[in-house]
Homo-oligomer: A and B are copies of this chain.
Amino acid sequence: MELCKKPINNTSKYKDVSEKYCHQENRHNGRCSEFPYLKHLKADHKRVADKVVRDSTMTTGAAWKSKDAGPNRILRWVMLLSDQELLQFGLDMEMMKPGVIAKLREKSATYEQCMLVAGKLATLVYQMPDAPDCPEDIRSYLEERFGAFIENSTTCIICKEPLSFSLFEVAQRGKAEVETAHSNPRTHSDENVGFAHRDCNIAQGNKTLEEFYEWIQGILNRVNGTD
């Protein structure tokens, strides 16, 4: 699909870092839009639409909540800038602990990567059991960009159990029971992203899925005495 790509009005203080642009199909009718495929979720399930935008474009993670962790959430493409460039935005990387810097830098991604992740996440949302019906125009847009829908096919990328849309509403101690997760936590791309149970995501930690499965297999081998 060829996208419109007309620049979108951008009032962010980081507007010079990356131009935002329209993701409607080229020669679309109506106004330009950065996330045209989220229109329906924004209207009926705002929290879910907001989560897709936030998780795809912003750095995040429990570690950001501690006082010494620096900016709590920041645009992923801003984290591609050099220390010197960040200083011009008032972000002094030298004030942060090395572990925090490494984690921030790991979460960096280009605007294009983030936009692909957002589309992929929306696609996964609509393929969850209990998901709202996807309006035809959004479905054909997403299918053309991310492949044919298979109803109810969205599973936790870690434990492979089906992920019900209703989990977006369930929260414990302020944390949603479903989180955005990465097969490789150090790569933010549409190929590498999906949803996962909160417990699964926490257990995976900073390991790749391959490393995680190998690790838990080793645990069970030792526990069962088959090692």
Contact = CB atoms under 8 A, between A and B. Distances in A.
B223 A220 contact: no
Contact of A216 (B66, B99, B216): B216
Contacts of A223: 160, 213
Contacts of A216: 203, 216, 219-220
A62 interface: yes
Contact of A222 (B160, B173, B199): B160
Contacts of A172: 99
Given A65-B66, A99-B173, A172-B99, A220 B222 contact: no
Contacts of A63: 173
Nearest to A161: B222
Contacts of A97: 173-174
A67 B203 CA distance: 24
A100 B216 CA distance: 29
How many copies of this chain?
2
Given A65-B66, A99-B173, A173-B99, A159 B203 contact: no
A217 interface: yes
Interface string A39-75: 0000000000000000000000011011000000000
A202 interface: yes
A223 B63 CA distance: 29
Contact of A220 (B62, B66, B199, B217): B217
Contact of A219 (B62, B66, B160): B160
Nearest to A97: B173
A147 interface: no
A63 B173 CA distance: 9
Contacts of A203: 202-203, 205, 216
Given A202-B202, A202-B203, A216-B219, 4 more contacts: A65-B65, A159-B215, A203-B203, A213-B220
